């Protein structure tokens, strides 16, 4: 068992070393963001001609929303050209996209499947039909929604001389359940604590499946998208990093993506990502290692991003199973082996849990005005300062007295309680009843399941029947932060209508006043 313990200890140390450096990214945005933003603001953004690339398979329910958000951009519309590749579609995705103003190509190929092949087909069509090409190509998934200033923000970064730019991939349904919320936290960490820091430090980011831009020079060098692995976005990132290019990050370019809401969907997606990471490391691992030995931090960073967690976990499980069987045959206690495995996994993933905790605190402060108290395990002032910097209100060091913790909680709550206002026991508008005590909604006495954000939007409108509110005002009241993505309001309104309206396309309750906003009708 001593061999097993020592093996697990070594694996845990390697895992910790692989990820510890990411803690150094955390203070970078606070230290360098203002300086970099001032420098970038002094540079004049050059208008560029962009081709927007959308690969869609049976996306009739959402494709019009994406095209609508593209047509609502503050960027010069004459410089935006929207192309849709309807990939093996059996619905009316093509017709809807055409009616929304996109140029549509269709593909039917059940052998070469996947987004990589769809992008290759679309770019091949553009190469033939638009020989002059475009300055840049921006890739989206069909279920995305963009902030109005998204393209302008991407153009500002692109104008600084980068050939590849990625953006902040946010979640438009983070309030559905813990699974979608987990994805939102994942992308927040990737954006704020990885890509933003990487960009500020002058190293390379990685594109994330959707919401990225590449130049005509990249296309001319690679040809029409030769990246067909399961994680073609990571394959593309690694390929370009090995070519010496840097993937830049545009922190103000925010898009919203639909995330899985069931464990089965999430598990299948994560397994596909893991398999894709292995494929990338199989094809590019040797070159990444050579890049590391040549002093490329981007190669090291990318290697750490795609491999350690999955590979070390797999290796550790195999090693422990082997040593456990050998130990059992030799008469060792299997319980000791299981305890050693558990301790090893805890030590390995504690690093990721800490990083996740930091992200969670940040997200909580963005979503809710709630007090946050950190329970720290040491007296290191650096840790405490970092916690307060990312948004915590206070900290207490272990070991602590329960009475002291309770007093601190009460003190912090006193400062926040004045923000709370009593809500009525029930609100009724027509056939809709909202019981705020039970956080329950019924329509004609039939229960309706709403996400927390959908509930809060409906509650806000029902508290002010017949009054028109702009998307910005709804965002400000519900999200409790300055409006940044009113398109997200439109998405949630659509979901509310689907749940409470008999005919969502002809709503009775939640109606739109064109050019002004939304209201809920009284007396219907």
Quick: pLDDT tens for 29-69: 767 766 665 555 556 689 999 999 999 999 988 898 899 88
Dihedral of the alpha carbons of 434, 435, 437, 440, in degrees to the nearest 10: -80
Average pLDDT over residues 390-413: 65
Give the CATH class of 426-520: mainly alpha
| Residue range(s) in the chain whose domain bears CATH number 1.10.10.10 | 426-520
pLDDT at 385 over 60: no
CATH number of 370-417: 3.40.50.2300
The structure's pTM equals: 0.66
pLDDT in tens, 95-130: 999 999 999 999 999 899 889 999 999 999 999 999
Q: DSSP letters of 61-84?
A: TTHHHHHHHHHT-SS-GGGEEEEE
d(CA 166, CA 366): 22
Q: CB-based burial of residue 294 (10 Å sphere; 0-12 exposed, 13-18 middle, 19+ buried)? A: exposed
| Residue range(s) in the chain whose domain bears CATH number 3.90.550.10 | 43-305
Beta strands in 90-135 (DSSP E): 103-107
pLDDT in tens, 200-220: 888 899 898 899 999 999 999
pLDDT in tens, 116-173: 999 999 999 999 999 999 999 999 999 998 888 899 999 999 999 999 999 988 877 7
d(CA 465, CA 460): 9
pLDDT at 427 over 60: yes
Give the CATH class of 43-305: alpha beta
| Residue range(s) in the chain whose domain bears CATH number 3.40.50.2300 | 370-417
pLDDT at 522 over 50: yes
Highest average pLDDT, of 19-33, 52-66, 382-396, comes from 52-66
């Amino acid at each position: 068992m001593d061999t097993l313990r020592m093996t697990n200890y070594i694996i845990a140390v390697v895992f910790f070393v692989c990820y510890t450096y990411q803690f150094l990214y955390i203070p970078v945005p606070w230290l360098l963001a203002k300086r970099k933003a001032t420098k970038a603001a002094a540079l004049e953004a050059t208008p560029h001609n962009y081709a927007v690339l959308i690969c869609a398979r049976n996306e009739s329910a959402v494709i019009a929303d994406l095209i609508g958000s593209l047509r609502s951009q503050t960027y010069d519309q004459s410089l935006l050209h929207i192309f849709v590749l309807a990939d093996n579609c059996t619905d009316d995705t093509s017709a809807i996209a055409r009616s929304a103003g996109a140029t549509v190509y269709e593909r039917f190929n059940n052998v070469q499947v996947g987004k990589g092949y769809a992008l290759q087909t679309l770019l091949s069509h553009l190469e033939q039909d638009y020989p002059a090409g475009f300055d840049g190509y921006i890739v989206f998934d069909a279920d995305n929604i963009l902030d109005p200033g998204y393209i302008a923000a991407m153009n500002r970064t692109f104008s600084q001389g980068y050939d590849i730019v990625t953006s902040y991939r946010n979640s438009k349904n983070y309030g559905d359940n813990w699974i979608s919320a987990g994805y939102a936290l994942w992308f927040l960490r990737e954006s704020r604590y990885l890509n933003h820091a990487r960009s500020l430090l002058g190293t390379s980011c990685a594109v994330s499946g959707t919401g990225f831009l590449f130049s005509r020079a990249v296309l001319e060098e690679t040809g029409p998208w030769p990246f067909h692995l399961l994680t073609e976005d990571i394959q593309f990132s690694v390929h370009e990093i090995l070519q010496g290019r840097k993937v830049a990050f545009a922190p103000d370019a925010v898009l919203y993506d639909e995330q899985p809401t069931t464990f089965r969907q999430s598990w299948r997606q994560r397994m596909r990502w893991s398999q894709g990471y292995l494929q990338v490391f199989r094809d590019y691992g040797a070159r990444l290692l050579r890049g590391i030995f040549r002093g490329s931090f981007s190669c090291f960073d990318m290697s750490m991003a795609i491999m350690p967690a999955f590979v070390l976990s797999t290796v550790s499980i195999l090693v422990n199973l082997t040593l456990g069987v050998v130990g059992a045959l030799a008469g060792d206690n299997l319980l000791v082996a299981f305890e050693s495995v558990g301790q090893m996994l805890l030590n390995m993933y504690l690093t990721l849990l800490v990083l996740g905790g930091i992200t969670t605190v940040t997200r909580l402060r963005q979503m809710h005005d709630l007090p946050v108290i950190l329970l720290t395990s040491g007296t290191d002032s650096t840790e405490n300062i970092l916690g307060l910097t990312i948004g915590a209100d206070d900290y207490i060091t272990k070991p602590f007295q329960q009475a002291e913790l309770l007093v601190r909680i009460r003190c912090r709550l006193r400062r926040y309680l004045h923000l709370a206002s009593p809500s009525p026991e029930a609100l009724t508008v027509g056939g809709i009843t909202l019981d705020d005590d039970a956080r329950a909604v019924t329509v004609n006495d039939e229960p309706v399941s709403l996400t927390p954000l959908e509930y809060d939007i409906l509650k806000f409108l029902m508290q002010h029947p017949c009054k028109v509110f702009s998307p910005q005002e709804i965002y400000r009241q519900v999200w409790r932060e300055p409006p940044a993505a009113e398109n997200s309001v439109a998405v949630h309104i659509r979901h509310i209508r689907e749940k409470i309206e008999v005919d969502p396309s002809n709503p009775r309750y939640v109606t739109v006043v064109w050019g002004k906003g939304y209201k809920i009708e009284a007396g219907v």
